[in-house]
Amino acid sequence: MTIINVTNFLATIVFATFLTSCGSSIKEKTIKASNISVTGEGSDYIKVVDGDYTLKVVDDKIVIAIKLELTKKYEGANPEMGNLSFIPLDKTGAAVPDIGLDMSPATMSDWDKIKDLLKGDAGKSATISFEWNYFSKKDVQERIMKETENFEIARADFTGGSSSDVSSSESNSDNSSDDGLSETGSEDWDKMLDDYDEYVTEYIKFYKKAMKGDNSALAEYPAMMEKATKLSESMTAAQNDNKLSAEQIGRMMKIQTKMLQAASGN
């Protein structure tokens, strides 16, 4: 089962666009990539192919497609990335500060391409789209487009067994699974799901008011932002433990579906 990257959840919470205008005066720029740094467990297996990459604004998002190559065959069980982040760097090589959410693979299809890449032979490549969306924050979007001159790939961490765990995973294959799931999950994930569900319920009410032009939504906006910060903190704590139970995965998907249905007007 593919585990949904938790940092993408908050990106689905689309605050009403009438609250602030969105966009950047710089709509597109080319980054010449060479010897890009990759950190995390995946650094032994993947690299960014040298070349020109286009960072661009699409509606209220910033997107970039990156070509990754498998440098050596992964011998572990159930290879899957739990995290993968595109970090924009300025001309000094420092990360562009205070951008909010990381730029992560844009869709479940992109996550599946990463999973398939890890199952392939050395030399196989895949192009992955990364996306950033921070709720119509024009100033942040502007800063990313203006200051980004290079990038790195960070937190390339596995949720499947590492290559050093092959023998143990094979010997225990009848009794356990190392695919990022556990039988009981963790309390951090339970708390994150509680916070997420509570936020979505309140957000749907807020969203409906905003879409009807109800000015009371403006007064509620600061409180919604405060709750979003709390949710972000809860998500950060949960990310320290990649183990989810099947029940937690199911609940996570139901909450996300409820959010997407509300945002689409269903």
Distance CA 234, CA 265 (A): 27
pLDDT of residue 48: 97
CA angle (100, 239, 81) in 5-degree steps? 95
**Centroid of chain to Cα 104:** 4
- Per domain, the residue ranges of the chain are 20-171, 187-263
Tens of each residue's pLDDT in the chain, 266 residues = 333 444 444 444 434 334 443 445 889 999 999 999 999 988 999 999 999 999 999 877 899 999 999 999 988 777 778 778 899 999 999 999 888 767 888 888 888 899 899 999 999 999 999 988 655 577 888 899 999 999 999 988 877 544 444 444 444 444 444 444 445 556 777 888 888 888 888 888 887 777 777 778 777 877 877 777 777 777 766 665 556 677 877 787 788 777 766 665 65
Return the C-alpha torsion angle 92, 95, 96, 100, nearest 10. -170
pLDDT of residue 5: 42
pLDDT of residue 63: 93
Q: What are phi and psi of 61, to 5 degrees?
A: -120, 160
pTM of the model: 0.58
Distance CA 25, CA 45 (A): 37
